[in-house]
Amino acid sequence: MKECSTPAQIKACRALALERNRQLFEEAQALNLAAHELLESREMDMEQFEHYRALRRKADLKFADAIEHLCVLNEDFPPIPMSPHNSQGLRRQLEIAE
């Protein structure tokens, strides 16, 4: 992914990768919620419990993939540092918000 060369291309590549990362986390969260919904079932049997455990494993793997993806993303596309002008404006906004 490092073939992106201009700042605009790098920003676009990073945005695309961040969007994919968000999707990975959402998929993991959906699996996690589905697993927990099974636990709330009043009639939990061994088959349902094994299904719960399978969903939890899938969720854990998906969370691990999302975290690894984010680490690689930050290595390949580090956040673009803010210019001094932008950082001063952001500082002013934060001071006003307080």
Can you read off the two tokens belonging to residue 12? 């676009």
Cβ atoms 67, 28 nearer than 8 A: no
Please state the rounded mean pLDDT for residues 47-57: 94
Return the pLDDT at 1: 47
The separation between CA 55 and the C-alpha centre of its own chain, rounded to angstroms, equals 19
Residue-range domain boundaries for the chain: 7-97
DSSP string, 25-83: HHHHHHHHHHHHHHHT-SS--HHHHHHHHHHHHHHHHHHHHHHHHHHHHHHHSPPPPPP
Return the pLDDT at 81: 65
Q: Has residue 3 got a pLDDT over 90? A: no
Give the relative orientation of helices 46-76 and 7-39 as an angle to the nearest 10 degrees. 170
- pLDDT range class, residue 34, cuts 50, 70, 90: very high
Tokens 């201009």 belong to which residue?
A: 6
Return the pLDDT at 75: 87
- pLDDT range class, residue 41, cuts 50, 70, 90: confident
Please state the rounded mean pLDDT for residues 1-19: 78
